[in-house]
Amino acid sequence: MTDLYLRSTTPDYITGAVYACDGVRDSVVLINGPLGCKFFYGFSAGKCTPRASDLWNIRGELGVSNSLSDSLLRSQYFTGSPHIPATNLRYEDFIFGTAEQLNRALQDILSLHRWAFVTVIQAPGTSLLGEALEPELEKISQEAGVPFLYIETPELSANMDIGYDRTVVSILKKLREQENDRCFGKESAGKCRKDAGGSERRPSVNLFGLHRYRRHTEGDTEEIRRLLDLCGVDVHCAVCTDCSVEELLRIEEADANILFEPECCAETAKYLKANSSLPLINVGYLPVGPDLTELFVRKVCTVLETDCQKALADIEQTRARIYYHLARWTGGRGLPQDVCYTAEGEASMLYAFADYLTGYLGLKPGALQVNYRECPENGFEKLAGLLSVNGCEDALQKDIVSVNNAILFGSANTIAHVMLCNNNVFGIETMCPSSGFIDVVPKTYLGCRGALFLLEQVINGIRLLKAWEG
C-alpha cells in the first residue's frame, strides 16, 4: 500500500502553482473557491523560508493569535490564517457564478497592501464552471496597476512539479506581456559585463527549480549562492524561490540561466530556450555530495568563463572532513553494510542522493520510491543507470515499508507511515510536510555544507539504529 499512500501524500498541481507564486516577494495568491480549499495552502505555505511575514504585511502583526480578535477573523477571505486568501465561495456561487465574490475579495485584498503581483487560482470545483473571468480580472488589474496572473484550469490530479513548472512559465509570460521591453528580447542583455562606471562586473545567474516545498529551501539557496560566489558568480534572481517582481522583470540582465531538476524545470527550459537570449545551464540534478557539487561548479564556470579554484578548494576541504569522520568512526572500514537507506522523491533528486550516499559514502540503497514519474521529463533512466552500475537495481521501486534497519529520506508523512509498520527506521526529512521541527539555523543538503550535514545525519542515524537493535 505504500505506493498508494505516497500517491495520496504527495502534493498536487495547485500546491506547485501556489508555491511558485509565493516565491515572489510581495505577491498574493487568491484561491477562487470556498475557504476549505485554502486552509492547507494557507497554513503550510511560506514556512520554508523566513520571508517577510505576510501577516505582518497585511495587519502589522506577527502571530495569528494576535489578530484573531481583530480584522483577520473578521475578514471572510483570510479567515483563520494570514496566507493565501480565498474568495469564500458557497455552493450557490457554483450555480450563479463567482464573479461578484471574486470582485469583492480582490477589492478587499488590494486595499490591505500594495502588492507587486497578484495570482488568482481557480479551485478544483470552480475550474469546472468555465466562467470567463478574464475581463473582470483585467479591469481590476488595470485599475490597481498590478499584474494579475489567472490560472483558470489547474490540472485536477497532476503533481506539484508540473504545477510549479507551468506556473513559473506563466509568471514569466505574464511579466513579459506586462513590460515587454524590460523583460526579454534585448539582444545585448547579459552580454555586457561592464557596469555604469565602465569596470568589469562579475557575471550573474538566474536560478530555476529551487522550489519551496523542499525541506530547506532557504539553506539550499544560501549554499548555492555561496558556492557561486566562490566561483566569482552572483545570483541575480532565485526565480520563484525568493525573488521580487523587479528582479523577475530584469532576469535578462543576468548572464545565464541555471536549471536544476527536469521534473520541475522542463517547461521552463523550453520557454527560456525560445524566449531568452541567455545561455541555459541545464544541470539536471541537485548538487548533493562533493562529486556532483564539483561537476556543478565546473559546468557553471566553464559557461561563464570564471575561475572555480576557490570553490574546488572548498569542496576539497569538504572531502577531507568527510574522510576524517568516516574513517574515524568506522575505523577505516566504511559504513556498516547491514544498514541501508530508503528514499522517496523525484528521480533526479534520488539520483543526486544515490550518487552521494551510494556512490560516494558506500551506503546500500534498500528501496527507492520514485514520485512524479508522470512528469514529461524526469531522471528515471539516469537513476536506473546509476543503480545498475552499483549493482543495486533491485532497490528501484521496491516498497519502502518492506525494508528494515534503514535510514529513510522522505517527508514526515512517509517517515511516520514507515515507522508505523517498522520500528527500526531513522527518518531524515528531505521535503515537506515536516514533523514540525523548527529550523532556526538554515540547513541544506546541497553543496559542501549539505554533504556534511547529510553525513552527520547518516552517521548518527546509523548509531541510533544500532542502539535500537541492541
Partner 1 sequence: MRIAVYGKGGIGKSTVSANLSAALSALGERVLQIGCDPKHDSTRLLHHGQKVTTVLDYILNTPEEDQKPEDVLMKGYMNCGCIEAGGPRPGKGCAGRGILTSFEFLNRHDVFSGYSTIVYDVLGDVVCGGFAVPVRKQYAQAVYLVTSGEAMSVYAANNILHGIRNLDPEGRRIAGIIYNSRGAGDERERVFAFAKAAGLPVVLSLPRSGAFLSAERNARTLVETDRNLPESRLFLEFAEKLKKGVPLYPASPLSEEEMELFMQGKPLKSLSGNTGKEAGGPAEVQRSEDGSVTGKRRQAGSGTAEPYRIPQKRALSDPFSRVPLFGCAFRGAVDLAVHLKDAAVLAHAPKSCTWYAVNGLSSYGRRGLFDRGILYPAFIPQRFSATDINIKDAVFGGVEHARQKALELAKSGVKNIIAVTACIPGLSGDDLQPVKEELRQYGTCMYIIHTDGVEAGDYNEGMALCYKTLAEEAVKPAAAPDPDAINIVYEQTFSSETDENFAAVKEILSSLGIRVNCRFLCASSVREVEGFLNAPYSILAREDRLGLELKRLFEQRYGCRFAKGVFPEGFRQTADFVRQLGRLYDRTEPAEKLVENSRKEYDRILTELRSTFSGMKTMIFLSREYAWLEELAEDLQLDIVCASIPRNKEALNAEWNHRFSKQWALDRDTFAQKAAELKPALVLTGDLSVIPDPPEGTAVIAVKRSIGKGFFSAAEESRKWTKLLGRQLKGRWRNDRSVFEKYYT
Using CB under 8 A as the binding rule, whether residue 374 contacts partner 1 is answered as no
| Residue whose CB is less far from partner 1, 431 or 448 | 431
In the stretch 111-140, what mask flags binding to partner 1 with x, by CB under 8 A? Answer: ------------xxx--xxxxx-xxx----
Using CB under 8 A as the binding rule, whether residue 274 contacts partner 1 is answered as no
Residue 204 C-beta: closest distance to partner 1, Å: 23
Question: How many other β-carbons are positioned within 10 Å of the β-carbon of residue 62?
Answer: 12
Using CB under 8 A as the binding rule, whether residue 3 contacts partner 1 is answered as no
Using CB under 8 A as the binding rule, whether residue 290 contacts partner 1 is answered as no
Using CB under 8 A as the binding rule, whether residue 57 contacts partner 1 is answered as yes
Q: Which residues 398-417 are close enough to bind partner 1 by CB under 8 A?
A: 412-413, 415-417
| Residue whose CB is less far from partner 1, 57 or 206 | 57
**Looking at 44-52, 170-178, 290-298, 352-360, which segment touches partner 1 (CB under 8 A)?**
44-52
| Residue whose CB is less far from partner 1, 145 or 197 | 145
Q: Which residues 63-92 are close enough to bind partner 1 by CB under 8 A?
A: 65-66, 69, 76, 79-80, 88-92
| Residue whose CB is less far from partner 1, 99 or 392 | 99
Using CB under 8 A as the binding rule, whether residue 141 contacts partner 1 is answered as no
Q: Which residues 426-445 are close enough to bind partner 1 by CB under 8 A?
A: 433-437
Residue 353 C-beta: closest distance to partner 1, Å: 22
Using CB under 8 A as the binding rule, whether residue 97 contacts partner 1 is answered as yes
| Residue whose CB is less far from partner 1, 142 or 337 | 142
Using CB under 8 A as the binding rule, whether residue 424 contacts partner 1 is answered as no
Using CB under 8 A as the binding rule, whether residue 142 contacts partner 1 is answered as no
| Residue whose CB is less far from partner 1, 384 or 421 | 421
| Residue whose CB is less far from partner 1, 37 or 281 | 37
**Looking at 157-165, 263-271, 341-349, 380-388, which segment touches partner 1 (CB under 8 A)?**
157-165
| Residue whose CB is less far from partner 1, 15 or 405 | 15
The single residue among 192, 320, 389, 420 that binds partner 1, judged by CB under 8 A, is 420
